[in-house]
Structures are given as structure tokens and as C-alpha cells.
């Protein structure tokens, strides 16, 4: 029996913005941010083929990675700061505090595992990915770090860039903008991706809130911030990826649009987007894999970007959290019947339409609704095809694989654009092995029936 792969720590360091380039600052958290105070870290691992020795990597690749990170942090300096409670007496505010010299933990390691086995699409034990994840340190008197990074070399095979961002610091849109800024600075003219032109926008006065949502969210999420940073996943969990090809998505959308109209007695067909079709299909497959009873309520929760929907709208480069919660609930029996995907898509579409009309409708209830349905195993979502994760190029080419590893702890499905074709969608799931086997069967059987 072969011994398990070993991780060898090569160096640990701290990387700061260039000295003297960023003034001491305090960035208040908004109600969008404090909703995630107890949400912990969002973790991603980007895998790249880079067949080189450890000595070459440390001498020729690592210096550029660290110097470009420093430059990126100059623009995205809150990521080098810490989330803390305001020091003012009787103040219920949270903030990101940055002072000159604040830094990001940067770990470099070597891993003797099989690169292709760890970075594949197949179901594999989550334990193979855990060594690649950086750790945000726990709360101290100065607060909680926002960002931690780990670069792991698979000698003569490839490299993995692991990222952990505390969700209260920013959402996926902001963190990916930072990643593109770092990668672009590292790659220079070798980059195959467009440079992020717009610098981050930190102005909190742009966030117009019609009601005192901060106080409402604080009572639920902020009074006893437990700082749950990293929670260990179950031992029997596996992680895998599935792809909906462009043609399969087209067929799903056509099925939903045509059947929804017929179900309404020949009325107008339902306009089904790629996201609606993907959400609906995965949700139905998961309900089947978990063998839900017909009378059980099935819950689906997903986030939607509010930047362009607030009044007035926020710029796309606004840094922080600006996502609203969308809740879908139907009887499992609706999803288990012949046209279950259509029923799911209709329910999801209705919620999306309502969100578009008013993204903050019912926002006062978000924290309590989330708490109430967590015990019922809701499906949720991490990531988005809009983030273009597979375009992130440090000068080594496009990633071979991108994994949102925090789904191992959150139970969410991850979404990204397909690496192989424009218009496809890649889905990641972390489930107990028996559920993953059932899901894979439902997923493939359902696609076969589309032909």
C-alpha cells in the first residue's frame, strides 16, 4: 500500500503593498457585508500546468508572483487589512482597518501528489485538496484577516494557487477582480486575459439603503460574531465536477420554454436563461439523488448581484459585498415528476423576476430565513460563469482546473464557465460518496433523455 502524498512547507511570509503607498484607512462594513460575518472563508484553488523543478520555481517564478501581489494589494489594500469591531464604545459597527505594513499571509509549499488526480473532474476524496488551502488565522485583538494565499508546487507537473477570502470582506465579484489584477501584473505582456481597467471603488456613501437594514442584520449576525473561519468537511465527502455543454443547455432551455407554456394551457412560453436552466437541472438531480419524499419542502437559495439594480446603481468595480438573497421553495413532488425541471425553472424564474423589480424586497427577513432553512439542506450557489475564472492567466496559460473548495463546508454547488467551450457551464459539488454516485447517474440519464 502506497503512502499518502506529503506536503512540504517551503516558506511562509507576509506580503504588503509597497511601503508608504497606502494611507491608514478604515472601511466601514455595510449591511451587505455583516450578513457574512459568520460565513467564514470562501476558498478557491486555481490549477496550472507548469512542469518545472522546485529550485527553478523558487528562483524564477516565485519572485514575480510576490512582487506582483504587492502591486495588486496597493489597489486592493483592504484585503491586507483586518475585519474588526469598531473600537468606539457602544458602537455596533464593523470595519476593515488597514495601517501601513499590514500584510497578507503567503505560504509556499511542495506537494508530491499526482497533479492530474488532484485537479481532475472525477469524484475524489476532499482530503486530497485540503493541503492546498491557506488558512485565515482566528480572531485576535486586531481583528480577522481578510485574505490568505498559498502557492503549492507539484514538482515537474504544475502549480496550485489557493485563495481564502473572508466573505464579510467582499463577494466573489470583488475577489475575482483582485485576482485578475494580480495575475495581470504577474504576467505582464504574456497575459492572455484583458487587464482589469477600472480600479476598485470603496466609497460606502454610494450604497443607498431605504431602511435601517444594518441594525436589523446586526441583531442577527453581528452581536455575537463567532468568526467561524474554517470548518472541517465530513470524512466521507467527495468532490466532483460536471459540465453542461452549450447544446445541452440549449435543449434544456427549449424544453422549459415550450413545456411551461403548455402547462399554462397554451399561454405564453417562459423565457429561460442559461442560469435558470442550470439551476433547475442541478436542483432536480440533487433532489432525486437525496431521495426526497414528495411531501417534503425543497429549498434553493442563491445570491444575485445588486450593483446594477440598486437605485442609484453602484459601479461594477464597487469593492465589498453587494449581493442579495433569493429564496425558492417548492414541494419535492413538483421536482420529482416528469416535468420537474420545468417546474423548478418556473419557480426560479419567478424569484429572479421579483428580484429584478426590487432587489431589497423582504431584505429584513434574509438572516432569519437563512437560519431557518439551513437544517433542511437547501441547495445554494457559489461562483458564477460571469467571473470568467478560466481566463485567469499569471503568464502560464489558462488554468487547467478551478475548484471552489469551500463548497466542501457550505454544501453549495459551484458554477463557472466551461473551460472547453463558450456557452457551457461547469458545476462543482461536494457530497457524501453515495449521494455523488446517485447524482452522477441522475445527471447523465437526464441529459440522455434530451436527445
Residue 81 CB-density burial (10 A; 0-12 exposed, 13-18 middle, 19+ buried):
buried
pLDDT tens, residue by residue, 333-372: 999 999 999 999 999 999 999 999 999 999 999 999 999 9
DSSP state of 249: H
Which residues are CB-neighbours of 235 under 8 A, at least 6 positions away? none
- C-alpha–C-alpha distance, residues 84 and 444, integer Å: 47
- C-alpha–C-alpha distance, residues 78 and 204, integer Å: 13
Give pLDDT, residue 385: 97
pLDDT tens, residue by residue, 269-286: 688 999 999 999 999 999
Looking up cell 482566528 gives 138
Cell of 286: 440533487
The whole-model pTM stands at 0.95
Least confident residue range of 101-110, 138-147, 391-400: 138-147
- C-alpha–C-alpha distance, residues 96 and 317, integer Å: 18
Q: Is-cis flag, bond preceding 312, omega within 30?
A: yes
Length of the chain: 451
In terms of Cα–Cα distance, which of 135, 137, 139 is closest to 149? 135
Q: Beta-carbon neighbour count of residue 21 at 10 Å?
A: 14
Q: pLDDT tier at 264 (50, 70, 90 boundaries)?
A: low
- C-alpha–C-alpha distance, residues 376 and 35, integer Å: 20
Instruction: Indicate which residues carry an active-site annotation.
Output: 167, 393
Cell of 371: 437560519
Amino acid at each position: 500500500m502506497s503512502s499518502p502524498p506529503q506536503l512540504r512547507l517551503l516558506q511562509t511570509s507576509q506580503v504588503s503593498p509597497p511601503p508608504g503607498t497606502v494611507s491608514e484607512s478604515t472601511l466601514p462594513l455595510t449591511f451587505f457585508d455583516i450578513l457574512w460575518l459568520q460565513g467564514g472563508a470562501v476558498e478557491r484553488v486555481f490549477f496550472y500546468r507548469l512542469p518545472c523543478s522546485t529550485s527553478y520555481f523558487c528562483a524564477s517564478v516565485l519572485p514575480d508572483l510576490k512582487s506582483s501581489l504587492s502591486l495588486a494589494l496597493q489597489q486592493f489594500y483592504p484585503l491586507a487589512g483586518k475585519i474588526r469591531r469598531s473600537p468606539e464604545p457602544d458602537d455596533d459597527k464593523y470595519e476593515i482597518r488597514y495601517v501601513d505594513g499590514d500584510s497578507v499571509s503567503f505560504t509556499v509549499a511542495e506537494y508530491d501528489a499526482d497533479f492530474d488526480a488532484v485537479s481532475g473532474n472525477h469524484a475524489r476524496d476532499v482530503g486530497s485538496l485540503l493541503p492546498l488551502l491557506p488558512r485565515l488565522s482566528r480572531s485576535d485583538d486586531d481583528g480577522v484577516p481578510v485574505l490568505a494565499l498559498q502557492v503549492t508546487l507539484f514538482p515537474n507537473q504544475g502549480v496550485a494557487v489557493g485563495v481564502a477570502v473572508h466573505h464579510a470582506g467582499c463577494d466573489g465579484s470583488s475577489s475575482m477582480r483582485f485576482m485578475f489584477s494580480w495575475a495581470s501584473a504577474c504576467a505582464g505582456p504574456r497575459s492572455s486575459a484583458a487587464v482589469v481597467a477600472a480600479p476598485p471603488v470603496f466609497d460606502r456613501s454610494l450604497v443607498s439603503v431605504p431602511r435601517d437594514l444594518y441594525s436589523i442584520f446586526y441583531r442577527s449576525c453581528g452581536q455575537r460574531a463567532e468568526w467561524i473561519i474554517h470548518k472541517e468537511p465530513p470524512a466521507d465527502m467527495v468532490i466532483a465536477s460536471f459540465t453542461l455543454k452549450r447544446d445541452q443547455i440549449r435543449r434544456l432551455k427549449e424544453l422549459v420554454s415550450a413545456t411551461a407554456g403548455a402547462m399554462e394551457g397554451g399561454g405564453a412560453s417562459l423565457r429561460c436563461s442559461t442560469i435558470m436552466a442550470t439551476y433547475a437541472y442541478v436542483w432536480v438531480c440533487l433532489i432525486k439523488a437525496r431521495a426526497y419524499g414528495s411531501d417534503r419542502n425543497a429549498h434553493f437559495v442563491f445570491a444575485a448581484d445588486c450593483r446594477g439594480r440598486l437605485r442609484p446603481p453602484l459601479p461594477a468595480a464597487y469593492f465589498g459585498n453587494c449581493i442579495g438573497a433569493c429564496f425558492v421553495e417548492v414541494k419535492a413532488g413538483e421536482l420529482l415528476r416528469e416535468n420537474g425541471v420545468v417546474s423548478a425553472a418556473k419557480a426560479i424564474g419567478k424569484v429572479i423576476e421579483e428580484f429584478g423589480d426590487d432587489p431589497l424586497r423582504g431584505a429584513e427577513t434574509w438572516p432569519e430565513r437563512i437560519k431557518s432553512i439551513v437544517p433542511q439542506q437547501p441547495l445554494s450557489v457559489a461562483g458564477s460563469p460571469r467571473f470568467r475564472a478560466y481566463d485567469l492567466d499569471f503568464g502560464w496559460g489558462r488554468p487547467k482546473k478551478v475548484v471552489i473548495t469551500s463548497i466542501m463546508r457550505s454544501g453549495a454547488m459551484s458554477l463557472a464557465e466551461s473551460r472547453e467551450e463558450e456557452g457551457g457551464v461547469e458545476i462543482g459539488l461536494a457530497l457524501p460518496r453515495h449521494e455523488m454516485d446517485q447524482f452522477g447517474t441522475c445527471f447523465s440519464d437526464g441529459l440522455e433523455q434530451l436527445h
